[in-house]
Amino acid sequence: MNEEVFIGGWTLSRLRERTQTERWAVWKRARSLHSAEGNHLARAIEMLGLPYAEPEPLTGEDPLLERIRTVFASPAARSAAIEATLDGLPAMAGVDTLLHDELGEEYRLNPAAVPTAETLTAELMASLGYAEAGRKPLPKRCVARSGIFWKRG
């Protein structure tokens, strides 16, 4: 076990085990440190050759996009988003749980599913007359880690 240990205890093997989104978060945090150690970790992630960029939302050709849109079109999605907002959480907290219940691992394991859900949640909340009021962390049970908090506009 002669593997180089980077700032935060990261090793190349640990980074390889992480998802694209998790590697992105580590890379982003390392760059934000503005230190030699942080830059060294960021360069190591870049040189791994594995995807580490923030995933883009699903494209129009992806069948999962249509399934996610179907969930968002349901009255349950609207209710879940509003209820989460009234509970002081990002609307995504309610929708995230609903998507995980409906789509299971297909939602949880696709790195582009969360950005897609965030975009659709923003469209839903804006159409209901809500305005962005910052970001908040989501409960640990959620697939997404943070989301936009909405207030009545």
* Beta-bridge partner residues of 136: 147
pTM given for the model: 0.69
Q: Is residue 56 a part of any domain in this protein?
A: no
Quick one: pLDDT band at residue 73, thresholds 50, 70, 90? Answer: very high
Whether 120 is in a domain gets the answer yes
pLDDT tier at 56, thresholds 50, 70, 90: confident
CB 80 within 8 A of CB 73: no
pLDDT score of 90: 97
CA–CA dist 146, 33 (Å, integer): 21
C-alpha–C-alpha distance, residues 20 and 109, integer Å? 10
What does the block give as tokens for 27? Answer: 């890379």
Average pLDDT of span 91-100:
96
Residue 2 belongs to some domain of the structure? no
- Domain check: are 101 and 39 in the same one? no
CA quadruple 124, 125, 128, 131: dihedral positive or negative?
negative
- Do both 97 and 135 map to the same domain? yes
Domain count, the chain: 2
How does residue 151 score in pLDDT terms, banded at 50, 70 and 90? Answer: very high
Identify the sign of the CA torsion 75, 78, 84, 87.
Answer: negative
**Can you tell me the distance from the alpha carbon of 47 to that of 20, in angstroms, rounded to the nearest whole number?**
14
The pLDDT mean for the chain works out to: 91
What is the pLDDT averaged over residues 112-131? 94
Backbone φ and ψ of 11, nearest 5°? -125, 165
- Boundaries of domain holding 18: 7-47
pLDDT at 149 > cutoff 90: yes
